[in-house]
A and B are shown apart, each in its own frame.
Chain A
Amino acid sequence: MATKLAEVDAVLIGVGLVGTMLGRELTRAGLKVVGLERGRPQFTVPDFQGPQMHDELRYSVRKGLMQDNTKEAVTFRNRADQVALPIRRWESFLPGTGLGGAAVHWNGQTYRFQDSDFRMRSVTTQRYGARFADPELTIQDWGVTAADMEPHYDRFEYLLGVSGLAGNIGGKKIAGGNPFEDARRRGYPTPPMKEPYGSALFRKAAAREGYHPFPQPSSNLSQPYTNPEGMQLSTCMFCGYCERYACEHYAKSSPQTILLPVLLKDPNFTLRTQAQVLRINLSKDKRHATGVTYVDAAGREFEQPAKLVVLGSFALNNVRMLLLSGIGTPYDPRSGQGTVGRNYAYQTMSSVQVFFDEKTNINPFMRSGACGTVIADFVGDNFDHGPHKFIGGAYVGEVMTNGRPIEFHPTPPGTPAWGGKWKSAVVRHYNHTSVLNVHGSSMAHRANYLDLDPTYKDAWGLPLLRMTFDFPANDLRMSAYVTGKAVEIGRAMGARQVNGAGRKGPYTVTQYQTTHNTGGTVMGADRNTSVVNRYLQSWDVSNLFVIGASNFPQNASYNPTDTVGALAYMAAEAIVKRYLKSPGPMVQA
């Protein structure tokens, strides 16, 4: 029997990046807010300090900061005619857990999506005709434009303190920045990061090939910075332990370094960690959320009534929470009807190894999570797709993040997997190899979706989320094309040998690719093809807001976090300025 607690104005499901931001905006507006975080409380001191944080085995290989999949896993299959089986160990993607969420262990790669990404269906149709894209692709517009998003991107980037070089301020192009970006109102808060050697080699080669290299925007900071919340960040030390790790230096923007301490001081805010939310509770007519039910670390069940519910957990968990709570209509791939779980997408990744001679010391361990150089010439719709049989694109960059040797010990093709020849090749190439990333878009496809698994359960007896996904042929064609361009750049870097090929199917969960899982609670202007409106308000339950990469109708070429943060600020503004004054649907369906 659940203990019923006193009602609060708002409850947050998840206290990661989105939860922290919404908590701050809502408490500032005077609301009493409870934040429920399933993981442990964790802070830069004492939890993230060296030298223990520099433990490749614990954090990279054993995934110490990630969701414990003995308690919560995801089942997976490539196609609906297969039986989904549990992902028994995380490999392909790594859902985080704990206070601060995945924004603790992220790399800090902080890009804005482009206007053509937000208007994907319209732009594709206008430029190439309605029949150009594969009819199985369920791409659609977001219901917002880059101009709508700009103020929220700007505010979020100044919260983070992003280090970068603008390419377009108010329509004025700036040499050395990203020439393809939509206009921003002002430059980045801090200048670009120092450029490592491999990135410099890439920049020169890409420029010679006629492309437009620019410094990767980074939320590991190039210099000390005080954000508008008064939080002070420090300079990134290039320690080489960033992705999958927490930052000991206060140099990576994360809830702990940009906002959480401010929120925790607010008397309107109450944090409860190790609080596992089981469901969102609904009124009898299922049109109103009455609060949530959660279980604490000792197994005690509580009901937390609230006037407003903000679901801001990891994208996959946002989808699952709606399904577990009976909110909205689950997507049915046979009929194409239903919206919850629809348009699950990912990211289409490949890489190119660039092997140098022994005089070229790449020093791969002198890196941060976001310190490289990239080109956007093949991003999104920045090039003419007319001659190609695909839509979407990828950025290419030398964006290495580390030289940690369990994960990174490159050898050229043809090297044995073990024995003396393998060992000699590892010694020969460890410090003389650079890797280019091809970070590609992922189109929504009719057959790719999320629902509840009929068989496998979590530690609380609830169904696991079931993922049905394979790479659309469109995306494999895109990956082959752009990876070919990356191989050419690799050759122009002065390499002795270059090795790389586009992504191949089938999608497999046994190989790390990225944790950019998107879709399933898609935003949009039409409630028949979206779960939330443009303010991220549930079409079905108007006092529920769902925020995260689960809102993306399809995934773009760039990393998602900047867009997640911008969406969070956009939703927060709509709640504070409009919803609270007149609760109810903000868009009439």
Chain B
Amino acid sequence: MTKISRRGFFKLAGGATAALTQAPALVAHAAPAPAPAAHAGAALFFNPDEMRWIEAATERLIPEDDNGPGARAAGVPVYIDRQLAGAWGAGERLYRSGPWQPGEASQGYQLPFTPAELFRNALRGAREELQGRKEGSFETLPGARQDAYLESLQNGKQDLHGVPAHVFFESLLALTIEGYFSDPVYGGNKDMASWKMIGFPGAYASFYDLVDQHGVAYTRAPISMSDNGAGVIHLHPVSTQHSGKRGT
């Protein structure tokens, strides 16, 4: 078990969990340009300040490098904005009846916040925390200082308007990974860049002819769900499907 996956709103899944207790090494990075909030004008949920914070933070979580684009170029901030603006942000599939108690780590998320409320409160708290330290705003800090602040959230218990810092960090990281690797129809993973980077083929429907070609180097370009069904094999015409009576 890892610290990071215990209390998070958004589950960090898969093989990454074994590594999650490790803090990233502190390496001096060039400060990211305090770019104008490229997507703020189109944001559905975040205000411009919040969007600048999210753009800067997600880019530190998944930075641009020789492997491929970072979170910002991949559209991760747009993804997070849309998720929080929609049903998910409002608490879809989240049991929301009280009474509210903190409980044990093994009992999972027990805060009354919806994802949208959690982000809004935590972002306000994070901004105030840095202002209180006279450090200015997160998005204008040098990269290494940004990393150090994100680590302080990752490992911290400070209260961000009711949201424990580490819970906010886990939620931010999970949403960032989702946005980076999910189908581009959700607003992130622009041009399927992350799939190209790791070699994931996306929404193909068949590898029947390749699965027993052991170790084959798979080089075909990925496809998205939005690619008009390309690569999807329909083995049965619709007309052969039985239409049973449904209900009386």
* Residues of chain A having any CB pair with chain B under 8 Å: 41, 43-46, 49-52, 54-57, 60-63, 68-70, 73, 76-78, 82-83, 85-89, 91, 194-197, 200, 234-240, 248-250, 260-261, 263-265, 270-273, 353, 359-361, 363, 365-367, 371, 403-427, 430-431, 433, 435, 455-457, 499, 504, 506-512
CB distance from B18 to the nearest CB of A (A): 6
Taking CB atoms, residues of chain B closer than 8 Å to A73 are: 95
Q: List 26 A-B contacts (CB under 8 A).
A: A51-B231, A57-B182, A57-B186, A61-B178, A69-B95, A77-B107, A86-B95, A89-B94, A239-B206, A249-B235, A271-B245, A272-B247, A365-B201, A366-B210, A366-B211, A371-B211, A409-B15, A411-B15, A416-B25, A417-B24, A427-B197, A435-B15, A509-B106, A510-B11, A510-B106, A512-B11
Q: What's the minimum C-beta distance from A78 to chain B, rounded to whole angstroms? A: 6
In the assembly, what is the distance between CA of A582 and CA of B80, in Å? 62
Assess whether B247 is in contact with A51, with CB atoms less than 8 Å apart: no
**CB pair A235 B217 closer than 8 Å:** no
Q: What is the CB-to-nearest-CB distance from B13 to chain A, in angstroms, rounded to a whole number?
A: 4
CB of B153, distance to nearest CB on chain A (Å) = 11
User: Judging by beta carbons under 8 Å apart, are A423 and B95 in contact?
Assistant: no
Which of B9, B19, B95, B241 meets A415, CB within 8 Å?
Answer: B19
**With the chains together, A312 CA to B211 CA distance in Å?**
37
Number of B residues whose C-beta is below 8 Å from A?
A: 99
Assembly CA distance A237 to B210 (angstroms):
10
Q: Which residues of A contact B23 (CB under 8 A)?
A: 416-417
Q: Which of A238, A365, A423, A507 contacts B65 (CB 8 A)?
A: A423
Total number of A-B contacts with CB less than 8 angstroms? 301
Please measure, in the bound complex, the distance between the C-alpha atom of A408 and the C-alpha atom of B103, giving whole angstroms. 29
Question: Residues 226-242 of chain B: 1 if any A CB is under 8 Å from the residue's CB, otherwise 0?
Answer: 01010111111010011
A418 nearest CB neighbor, chain B only: B61
A419: chain B residues at CB < 8 Å are 24-25, 60-63, 147
CB-CB < 8 A to A69: which residues of B?
93-95
- Kindly state whether residue B16 has any CB partner on chain A within 8 Å: yes
The interface residues of chain A, by DSSP majority, are classed as: loop
In Å, the complex CA distance between A43 and B244 comes to 10
CB contacts (< 8 Å) of A425 on chain B: these are: 19
Decide: B205 and A271 in contact? CB cutoff 8 A: no
B17 at the binding interface (Cβ < 8 Å): yes
Which chain A residue has the least Cβ–Cβ distance from B13? A407
Closest chain B residue to A248, Cβ basis: B205
Contact call A426/B207, Cβ cutoff below 8 A: no
- On whether the beta carbons of A420 and B181 are closer than 8 Å, the reply is no
Contact A264-B242, Cβ < 8 Å, known A411-B15, A424-B67: yes
Binding site for A on B (CB under 8 A): 1, 4-9, 11, 13-25, 27, 60-63, 65, 67-68, 88, 91-97, 99, 101, 103-110, 147, 150, 154, 173, 176-178, 181-183, 186, 194-195, 197-208, 210-212, 214-218, 223-225, 227, 229, 231-236, 238, 241-242, 244-248
- On chain B, the residues within 8 Å of A45 by CB distance are 236, 238, 241
CB distance from A579 to the nearest CB of B (A): 26
Main secondary structure of the interface of B (DSSP, over half): loop
B230's nearest neighbour on chain A, judged by CB, is A51
Residues of A within 8 A of B216 (CB): 361, 363
Q: Complex: how many Å from CA A425 to CA B208?
A: 29
Least CB separation from A368: chain B residue: B211
Residue of A nearest to B61 (CB): A418
- Please tell me which one of the listed residues A407, A423, A508 contacts residue B105 in the complex, with CB atoms under 8 A apart: A508
Contact status of A50 and B205, CB under 8 A, knowing A405-B198, A410-B14: yes
**Chain B residues with CB below 8 A from A70, complex form:** 91-96
**What's the minimum C-beta distance from B59 to chain A, rounded to whole angstroms?**
10
**Assembly CA distance A511 to B14 (angstroms):** 10
Let me know if B208 and A236 touch, CB within 8 A: yes
A237-B205, A427-B67 as given contacts; A260 in contact with B244, CB under 8 Å? yes
Bound CA–CA A60/B13 (angstroms):
10
CB distance from B143 to the nearest CB of A (A): 10
Q: B107 contacts which chain A residues (CB < 8 A)?
A: 76-77, 85, 87, 508-509
Enumerate chain B residues within 8 angstroms of A431, measured Cβ to Cβ: 198-199
B238 with A50: CB separation less than 8 A: no
B211: min CB distance to chain A, Å: 4
Q: Are A91 and B11 in contact (CB under 8 A)?
A: yes
Q: Which of A51, A60, A250 contacts B232 (CB 8 A)?
A: A51
Task: Enumerate chain A residues within 8 angstroms of B210, measured Cβ to Cβ.
Answer: 238, 363, 366
How far, in whole Å, are A261 and B240 apart by their CA atoms in the complex?
A: 12
B109 x A88 contact (CB < 8 A): yes
The distance in angstroms between the C-alpha atoms of A455 and B101, with both chains bound, is 12
> Closest B-chain residue to A511, C-beta based?
B5
User: Are A237 and B208 in contact (CB-based, < 8 A)?
Assistant: yes
Interface pair A56/B182, CB less than 8 Å apart: yes
Given A83-B101, A87-B95, 5 further pairs, Cβ under 8 A? A51-B225, A62-B93, A248-B205, A261-B242, A408-B15
- Inter-chain CA distance A253–B5, complex, in Å, is 34
Note all chain A residues with C-beta closer than 8 A to B103. Answer: 83, 85
Selected from A77, A249, A455, the residue in CB contact (under 8 A) with B99 is A455
The 4 closest A-B pairs by CB, nearest first: A264-B244, A410-B15, A416-B24, A237-B206
The smallest C-beta distance from B243 to any residue of chain A, in angstroms, reads 8
Q: CA separation between A365 and B223, bound complex, in Å?
A: 13
CA of A77 to CA of B21 in the docked complex: distance in angstroms? 25
Q: CB distance B97 to A457 under 8 Å?
A: yes
Asked if B109 and A89 make an inter-chain contact with CB atoms under 8 angstroms apart, the answer reads: yes
Which of B68, B110, B195, B232 is A50 in contact with, Cβ under 8 Å? B232
Contacts of B104 in A (CB 8 A): 77-78, 82, 506
User: Cβ of B17: which chain A residues have Cβ within 8 Å of it?
Assistant: 511
Cross-chain contact of B246 among A41, A366, A405 (Cβ < 8 A): A41
CA distance A353 to B16 in the complex (A): 11
